Structure 1
């Protein structure tokens, strides 16, 4: 992207704005690699701190999400991560009022089937306020899968969901087999990028 070692002030400003746009779309490892590559080309260390801030903050927050599953079973997201330890989890954040979310369900279901044998599981996590509507929509669109379909019960109180800014959905997260979030804004399930990302995990 950048030829030569020295950038003028305009080029440094353009680089900062480019990274500001791109960093949220990268996995944590990819973001670290990009920032390491370009950190000495930014105008000042404060810009690097700013670019690092949202990812670093998210990595420090415990996923304090209270879940309700199908049949009114209750648990916490951390317990779900414990139960699924050893698998990669692709978390599909959605709501019943979000038409793009619903349109992406077939792709998420296809992704679940295609990568199930490799240890990848899709979790459908709704941020709906109307829990009855959530379950109706989950059943209607075939995502009412036991132990894979949940609604967040504490959307307003959860520091984790606030940090994620779940008003911007659909949103996809990836957790590794050790329960760690590795991608805070993963590619959509119908994209070639998500297949490339998942395939690279198993190389």
Structure 2
């Protein structure tokens, strides 16, 4: 009897163990593991010097339908992506210029490296036949690129402006731009040849049953996405966005490429939106964009993605009052309180608006009034700048010379980073050698400070001077490179 019980116990244990193994296998099969092998593409710059702002090196939609942006560690890095469906679309960027979208198969483990030009190379650990599918774009781009970029990228960017104005460029000997020049008909021919090769390859994969119907449809969608990008600079039809609206659907919201599609949609949509001048120059009035989009009958996820973009643009380019108004509208429409909390924290909207709050590179905080009290009895020359502001950065070298000339005198040079991000500011502070200057600060509440509103700070660079008694005496002082600056400073000394 005891022996029978022992056998029954062993059989039961084996069954439980098998079930656990099956459950474990099932769990593993619903993930994709990405192994980055020295995947760290450099920032791309064309021969003429054109470059893009940094874009995420890797992005995908997680199980909570949130767009995740990942920067792999240098050397080796590994991430696991939940994949309940047959595949998960993952985006890799080529040198901050292009996105390449890969439908990666459920349960796969994939190594990502780069070729000699930093283009992504993917290799499946378990299914070598998939390497051919994963690296389709790597093969297709050979012979169909200009300066290493896909023709659709060049058609959707400044290459079009260069091509359209080539006679003027040659006449005025603007030789730098000639380095990037490619005739429009050549770019169109490259793209048409690429599309033919793309369609033939995808059809072959389908005939050979290497890809499913769903992945086949996804590849065709991605080709349409390339087509939208190729039309951006040339298509000036202010109603073109209406043709794209038939493709706006929440069923695509699980793909990062859909976010790029909606960006293109907004590009065409804004053709009929008026421009306005705000803190960073001339911009589309994203308040109007928000208002018009919110009346459309889009499904909830798509509406949320579009309105999020509007909120981010309003946050960057408009006042705290505007931002608060449209944030509240956004929450009412979408019910998304997460973005609300993020924006309030990002712009310090809950801070005391009567104060200008500052932080130095070490993280020490001070308000503007305390700064004035500390340096009372001295002339204070204040430079409002930002890491993204090219004219501001050009003044940093003359500013350094100016500091040397007034060393030991009763002048304090203060640098206040306005409407910036902390990471970008910290990097720029080190590059401009401001990290050792005690009076270099990041403005924590650029959006809602009454002090900035009172001096009507809308455009930068902007310089003001406060005299020895703490009185604002120059609302628009000369910049460091201006010959009048020393005369002006000496007047208040």
Q: TM-score range by the shorter chain?
A: 0.5 to 0.7
Summarize deviations over 1:4-49 as a string: whole Å, max 9, x none: xxxxxxxxxxxxxxxxxxxxxxxxxxxxxxxxxxxxxxxxxxxxxx
Q: What's the TM-score once normalised by structure 2's chain length?
A: 0.28
DSSP 3-state at the match of 1:188:
coil
Match of 1:142 in 2: 433
Superposition deviation, residue 63 in structure 1:
7.3
Is the 8 Å Cα contact of residues 467 and 492 (structure 2) preserved in structure 1?
no
Match of 2:401 in 1: 110
Distance 1:200 1:63, change over 3 A: farther
Match of 2:358 in 1: 67
Residue 98 of structure 1 pairs with residue 381 of structure 2:
no
DSSP 3-state at the match of 1:112:
helix
Superposition deviation, residue 154 in structure 1:
0.7
What CA distance in whole angstroms lies between the structure 2 residues aligned with 1:85 and 1:164?
A: 20
Distance 1:116 1:103, change over 3 A: same
Whichever of the two has the greater Rg, that structure is 2
Summarize deviations over 1:59-100 as a string: whole Å, max 9, x none: xxx972100111111110111111111211110100111000
Match of 2:449 in 1: 158
What CA distance in whole angstroms lies between the structure 2 residues aligned with 1:191 and 1:159?
A: 29
What CA distance in whole angstroms lies between the structure 1 residues aligned with 2:354 and 2:411?
A: 20
What CA distance in whole angstroms lies between the structure 1 residues aligned with 2:354 and 2:436?
A: 22
Which runs of 5 or more residues in structure 2 are unaligned?
1-352
Match of 2:178 in 1: none
- Superposition CA RMSD, Å: 1.7
| 1:185 equivalent among 457, 473, 476 | 476
Distance 1:129 1:201, change over 3 A: closer
Distance 1:143 1:196, change over 3 A: same
What CA distance in whole angstroms lies between the structure 1 residues aligned with 2:359 and 2:487?
A: 32
DSSP 3-state at the match of 2:398:
helix
What CA distance in whole angstroms lies between the structure 1 residues aligned with 2:427 and 2:466?
A: 27
Distance 1:128 1:135, change over 3 A: farther
Match of 1:172 in 2: 463
Match of 2:82 in 1: none
Distance 1:88 1:159, change over 3 A: same
What CA distance in whole angstroms lies between the structure 1 residues aligned with 2:442 and 2:436?
A: 12
Residue 199 of structure 1 pairs with residue 481 of structure 2:
no
Is the 8 Å Cα contact of residues 66 and 75 (structure 1) preserved in structure 2?
yes
What CA distance in whole angstroms lies between the structure 1 residues aligned with 2:480 and 2:436?
A: 17
Residue 121 of structure 1 pairs with residue 412 of structure 2:
yes
User: Greater shift after overlay, 78-87 or 163-172?
Assistant: 163-172
| Count of matched residue positions in the alignment of Structure 1 and Structure 2 | 141
Is the 8 Å Cα contact of residues 63 and 77 (structure 1) preserved in structure 2?
no
Distance 1:179 1:73, change over 3 A: same
Residue 89 of structure 1 pairs with residue 393 of structure 2:
no
DSSP 3-state at the match of 2:484:
helix
Q: What's the TM-score once normalised by structure 1's chain length?
A: 0.65
Is the 8 Å Cα contact of residues 70 and 135 (structure 1) preserved in structure 2?
yes
Tell me which stretches of 4 or more aligned residues in structure 1 moved more than 4 Å.
none
What CA distance in whole angstroms lies between the structure 2 residues aligned with 1:167 and 1:144?
A: 26
